Amino acid sequence: MKENIAINNLHKDMSGLKIAQISDLHVGPTIKKGYVESVVNEVNELNPDIIAITGDMVDGSVNYLAPHVEPLKDLHANIGTFFVTGNHEYYSGVDRWLDKTDQLGFTNLLDSHEIIKKGYGEITLGGVTDYRSSTIKSSHKSDAKLAFDNAPENIPKILLAHQPWSIYNAHEAGTDLQLSGHTHGGQFWPFVYPVRWANPYTAGLHDHDGTLIYVNRGTGYWGPPLRLGVESEITLITLDTKKQNSLTS
């Protein structure tokens, strides 16, 4: 899936910046090393500047799944690979998984941010822990305002947040674009309808009172190994300065 997204106040040197988004890979009982290798190859072929992994990478412990996530160390982005937690990381031993993502070469954004530079242009790339993370690990606040604390005021803010529910907090924090997953786009009919009911946004690009949100439909799957009417997705987002955004209906 390719999306050109126009960001307000984006410096011309940042126009054309490419972000490859992976979400909800769910490496676990049925998604193994071979599938992960194919995802890595597909992402690398996109030649992204940034790789954003927006949670639910795994369904199981580090002891069980370490060999199957090992191909992720071969992900290549010109600037870097950035990771935020999803709810399933907390079911599977979040601290050990954060150690593992460190070892894989990712930058973990845990209610924190990094300044991304290209030429004379800059953006702030922030990330929050899963929307309900504090119920399992109290130090994980899932707070966009905390994530952007001390960030420059005059450059665009992009937030990685697993659940679309973070959009309200993201909007309050002055976020320009939120990248999320979690919903799997409904994964298969007819479950798309309760998923739409349970989430503010299910798939695609939307405008939330001036804050854009893109919801990835899921790179893997959860539960039954099938997707009906909803394809799996690796998203290539290209930032733009001029284009009028085509929103999902």
Establish if 233 belongs to a structural domain: yes
Q: Tell me what pLDDT residue 156 has.
A: 98
Q: Where are the alpha helices (DSSP H) in 27-180?
A: 33-45, 62-69, 87-91, 94-103, 144-147, 167-172
Name residue, tokens 């899963």: 130
Q: Which amino acid is at 73?
A: K
3-state secondary structure (DSSP) of residue 79: coil
CB 57 within 8 A of CB 63: no
User: What is the number of other CB atoms lying within 10 angstroms of the CB of residue 231?
Assistant: 10
pLDDT tens-place string over residues 2-37: 999 999 999 999 999 999 999 999 999 989 999 999
Q: Tell me which residue of 117, 119, 157 sits closest to 8, measured CA to CA.
A: 157
Establish if 99 belongs to a structural domain: yes
Q: Tell me what pLDDT residue 116 has.
A: 98
Q: Tell me what pLDDT residue 190 has.
A: 45
pLDDT tens-place string over residues 230-243: 468 999 999 998 77
3-state secondary structure (DSSP) of residue 136: coil
Helix pair angle (62-69, 33-45), 10° resolution: 40
Q: Over pLDDT 70: what percentage of the chain?
A: 90
Domain at 111, CATH number: 3.60.21.10
Q: What predicted TM-score, i.e. pTM, was given to this entire model? A: 0.92
CB 190 within 8 A of CB 157: no
For the chain, the domain total comes to 1
Establish if 249 belongs to a structural domain: no
Establish if 248 belongs to a structural domain: no
Establish if 161 belongs to a structural domain: yes
Establish if 90 belongs to a structural domain: yes
Q: Return the minimum-mean-pLDDT range out of 76-90, 183-197, 210-224.
A: 183-197
Domain limits at 101?
2-240
Establish if 185 belongs to a structural domain: yes
Establish if 245 belongs to a structural domain: no
Backbone angles phi, psi at 161, to 5 degrees: -150, 120
Across the chain, mean pLDDT equals 91
